[in-house]
Amino acid sequence: MRLEKLLPCIATSIAAASCVTEALTGPDVERPTVSVQVQNAVGGAKTFRSTDPASDSACVKVRAFPARLVLSAGDAGGVNQVTLRVFPGSIDRASVSVPATADISYAVTPAARGEALVVTLARPAPGRVRTGLVATLDANGPGGDLPDFAIVADASDYAGNRAFLQQIDVRPANSAVVCD
């Protein structure tokens, strides 16, 4: 499902949102989509999508830390789980905003050299699915002289299809590394 189809489900000021529709009647053979937008990127917000061609140097420079991230996922057959991992680094638990409904749960858990936000979406009712999710969070590197960190994300649907977002390196504005 393309992000453009999710727009009616997303509030005008980005916070947390999701959309409920009837479940597909046929088989779900398409992968979900997952994207991460870095809102405080140098030069304006920058979005990375699982549908983008792979890049050897996917990176973004931020004006200041923490990096403000918008995580979104979509799938016509229903989004089942979305994960965003920060490494090395941490997720500011107080900054996490996920839709507050009984069928959506989330946790920030330790992950290899960092932390992960895991959002799980149960079916809201028989024959119904959540086709999209938008969550926001702040992330930091390990601190001190090492503000850089990386993020990866993935999404899965109820049919077991998965989408992966390639690794994105998050760097300070004054980094000598050139980002696309």
Q: Read off the pLDDT of residues 123-136 as tens digits, 9 standing for 90 and up.
A: 878 888 888 999 99
AA letter at 175: S
Element (H, E) at 68: strand 67-74
Closest Cα to residue 139, out of 179, 89, 173, 98? 89
Rounded-to-integer distance, Cα 173 and Cα 63, Å: 5
Q: Where are the domains of the chain?
A: 3-172
pTM of the model: 0.86
User: Are residues 62 and 143 in contact, defined by beta-carbon separation less than 8 angstroms?
Assistant: no
Q: Read off the pLDDT of residues 91-114 as tens digits, 9 standing for 90 and up.
A: 999 999 998 888 899 999 999 889
AA letter at 61: K
The DSSP 8-state label assigned to residue 99 in this structure reads -
- Among 84-88, 99-103, 163-167, the range scoring the smallest mean pLDDT is 99-103
Q: Diameter of the chain by CA atoms?
A: 53
Q: Read off the pLDDT of residues 27-61 as tens digits, 9 standing for 90 and up.
A: 888 999 999 999 999 999 999 999 998 887 789 99
CATH topology of domain 3-172: Immunoglobulin-like (2.60.40)
